[in-house]
Amino acid sequence: MNTRPNTPPSTSPSTAPRTVFLLAHTGRPAAVRSAELVVLGLLRSGIGVRVLAAEAADLPLPPSVETVPEATPDVLDGCELLIVLGGDGTLLRGAEFARASGVPMLGVNLGRVGFLAEAERDDLDKVVDRVVTRAYEVEERMTLDVAVYNNGDLLHTNWALNEAAVQKVAPERMLEVVLAIDGRPVTGFGCDGVICATPTGSTAYAFSAGGPVIWPEVEALLMVPIGAHALFAKPLVTTPDSVLAVEVEPHTPDGVLWCDGRRTVTLPAGARVEVRRGSVPVRLARLHHASFSDRLVAKFALPVSGWRGAPR
């Protein structure tokens, strides 16, 4: 994970037009109210706002807000920041825009945990102020490149910020798989699935499946079995340059691949899923310098009342 201060454009901030893209879960009343507050705050400071036309219809926005047709790779052209208001699903949707455009994403959590978010709904005034003054830093988060093969033929490619999960389809049947690291088989078993995750994803699905929490600064890949029937079915942590593979046995029922719980493809029996470090990171805007330890405690409400301070 690389972190650096936000660098203003080479042109003078007083003369260069500034535009922020806003993405919101308009099905949430809290998101609609939050979007209105953020938009009005930015417009008062002379910063333009752009939204998707489909979302603009559900938001009480001034006429000066720019609308664009349904999502295309270039909808963030000319934008310096992507602000996302919503829960984990909306934040992952925003990550798709951020990766495609290279524009940093600033998430405001309106859901439950929201590890990808940098602010909570009570921080909206602070969010607007930091955006206006460019008082934020940008860090890069590792992604995954995912490829599906069958009989040596490439069937499908995808990507993930959190995880690529190979899972069973039939609830009454286990998925028989063989795991491999860097081209060498490691173990095989029947299971409900296998998760391949980034450090960012270690606090998401992989965490629920019993995987370790990995600090975002650590460059590594993570493989976590789900409901495996085996003695050796522990989470594996590898180098960031490793290639993780999950092979679906030929005699097993079809499986399914989910990337970030949003993009999916069927895995025929005998398919091989290869996961490696992604070639394109996702850039996140950060407002705080709080350690990941503090973030972990806050998000999971961990008990730390007995701590007496660092040794002296």
The catalytic site residues sit at 88
Residue 21 annotated as part of some ligand binding site: no
In one-letter notation, the amino acid at residue 275 is: V
3-state secondary structure of 168: strand
> What does the chain come to in residues?
312
Residue 58 annotated as part of some ligand binding site: no
* Dist CA 210 CA 40 (whole Å): 43
Enumerate the β-bridge partners of residue 221.
238
Residue 207 annotated as part of some ligand binding site: yes
Residue 89 annotated as part of some ligand binding site: yes
Quote the distance between the C-alpha of residue 45 and its chain's center. 30
Residue 18 annotated as part of some ligand binding site: no
Structure tokens given for 308: 């007496």
Residue 162 annotated as part of some ligand binding site: yes
DSSP letter, residue 123: G
Residue 77 annotated as part of some ligand binding site: no
- If phi > 0 it is left, if psi is from -120 to 50 it is alpha, else beta; for residue 260 that is left
Distances (CA, A) of 274 to 152, 159, 248, 280: 12, 11, 11, 17
* Dist CA 246 CA 224 (whole Å): 11
Under 8 Å CB-to-CB from 48, ≥6 apart: which residues?
A: 17, 18, 19, 20, 42, 64, 66
Structure tokens given for 214: 């990995």
Residue 283 annotated as part of some ligand binding site: no
Under 8 Å CB-to-CB from 129, ≥6 apart: which residues?
A: 135
Residue 93 annotated as part of some ligand binding site: yes
Structure tokens given for 140: 């890069």
**What element of type H or E holds 54?**
helix 53-56
Residue 122 annotated as part of some ligand binding site: no
* Dist CA 100 CA 21 (whole Å): 14
Residue 192 annotated as part of some ligand binding site: yes
Under 8 Å CB-to-CB from 182, ≥6 apart: which residues?
A: 238, 242, 243
Please enumerate, by residue number, every residue annotated as part of a binding site for NAD(+). 88-89, 93, 162-163, 173, 192, 203-208
Please enumerate, by residue number, every residue annotated as part of a binding site. 88-89, 93, 162-163, 173, 192, 203-208
